[in-house]
């Protein structure tokens, strides 16, 4: 019987760059939550690996052989002898190259589905190892729960009991390449930058206090991304102008921007107004959990 899982969008509420390793990888500290907006992944277990990609944003996802779902499956198969694989069907709903970790979320969902099909416990170390081998954001997407991620994305803090945050996600349907955004920071390899991000136990678990703290933090990738894709400026301005917007910020390397609201009703009204004013944009009212 096929197994089904959701690949929830990853939202970087904060993203502080804390330096660059000598091998060129940037280090960061980021408070991550996950949205109700998601791709969908199905696995029909079998001996051979296959992947079909469909859905509204499938065309932008690239060749199936390069998809992170297949890469994650191969990474786990290399670590688990006799792993049952099968046919994956991925329904892409999230925009691609959008700062939502869509491909990483898809890969993490594939690992969860393979674990279920093979009777592997969620804390099997080989799942984390395969996630690390697949991509920087895949480990944090395995549990898809709010927490801090640090370093190159593989250092995960404890799960955080953050409140649900009503939100609107907006993408102007302009892809922003992550590598180019990081390159534009122009941080020399071997550079260390002192941390200014609150520690895990200093992150509020009450909504109003959390939003107030977030307002004092930032996304260091937002300035270079806005320079590359001026459409982000228009999205930020449009979200900030909606009634009830409490905080507006870009997620990840862009171009998706999130707005936080006091109530789900405020978020839904804002999303409706934005769709009406900007029919070419991808707009979703959701809850960040």
Q: Which residues are annotated as a binding site for ATP?
A: 95-105
Decide if 64 contacts 179 (C-beta within 8 A): no
Q: In 81-236, which ranges are E strands?
A: 85-91, 147-151, 155-156, 165-171, 191-192
Other Cβ atoms less than 10 A from the Cβ of 103: the count is: 29
DSSP H helices in 119-230: 125-134, 138-143, 178-184, 207-215, 222-228
Per the rule left: phi > 0, alpha: psi between -120 and 50, beta: everything else, 23 is: alpha
CA-CA-CA-CA dihedral for 113, 118, 120, 126, to nearest 10: -80
Residues in the chain: 289
CA-nearest of 245, 274, 283 to 166 is 245
Selected catalytic residue, list 5, 39, 106, 137 = 137
Q: What tokens does 197 get?
A: 């991000």
Task: Please tell me the distance from the alpha carbon of residue 133 to that of residue 104, in angstroms, as a whole number.
Answer: 11
Which amino acids are annotated as binding site, given as ranges?
95-105
To the query of whether residue 137 is one of the catalytic residues in this protein, the response is: yes
CA-nearest of 146, 186, 185, 167 to 289 is 146
CA-nearest of 101, 134, 47 to 258 is 101
Selected catalytic residue, list 5, 10, 92, 220 = 10
Decide if 102 contacts 53 (C-beta within 8 A): no
To the query of whether residue 220 is one of the catalytic residues in this protein, the response is: no
Rounded to 5 degrees, φ, ψ at 168 are -125, 130
Q: Is 225 helix (H, G, I), strand (E, B) or coil?
A: helix
Positions annotated as catalytic residues are 10, 137
């Amino acid at each position: 019987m096929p197994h089904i899982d959701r690949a929830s969008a990853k939202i970087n509420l904060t993203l502080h760059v804390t330096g660059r390793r000598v091998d060129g990888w940037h280090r960061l500290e980021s408070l991550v939550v996950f949205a109700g907006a998601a791709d969908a992944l199905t696995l029909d277990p079998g001996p051979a690996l296959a992947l079909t990609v469909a859905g509204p944003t499938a065309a932008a996802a690239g060749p199936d052989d390069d998809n992170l779902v297949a890469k994650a499956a191969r990474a786990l198969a290399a670590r688990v002898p006799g792993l049952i694989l099968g046919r994956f069907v991925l329904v892409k709903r999230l925009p691609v190259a959008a700062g939502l970790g869509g491909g990483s979320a898809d890969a993490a969902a594939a690992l969860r589905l393979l674990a279920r099909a093979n009777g592997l416990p969620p804390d099997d170390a080989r799942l984390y190892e395969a996630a690390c081998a697949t991509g920087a954001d895949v480990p944090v997407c395995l549990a898809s729960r709010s927490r801090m991620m640090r370093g190159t994305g593989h250092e995960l803090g404890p799960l955080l009991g953050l409140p649900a945050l009503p939100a609107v996600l907006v993408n102007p349907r302009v892809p922003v390449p992550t590598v180019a955004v990081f390159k534009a920071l122009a941080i020399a390899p071997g550079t260390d930058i002192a941390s200014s991000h609150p520690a895990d136990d200093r992150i509020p678990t009450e909504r109003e206090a959390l939003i107030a703290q977030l307002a004092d933090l930032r996304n260091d990738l937002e300035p270079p991304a806005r320079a590359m894709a001026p459409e982000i400026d228009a999205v930020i301005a449009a979200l900030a102008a909606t009634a009830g917007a409490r905080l507006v910020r870009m997620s990840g390397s862009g171009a998706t921007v999130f707005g936080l609201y006091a109530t789900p009703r405020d978020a839904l009204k804002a999303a409706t107004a934005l769709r009406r004013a900007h029919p070419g944009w991808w707009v979703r009212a959701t809850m960040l959990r």
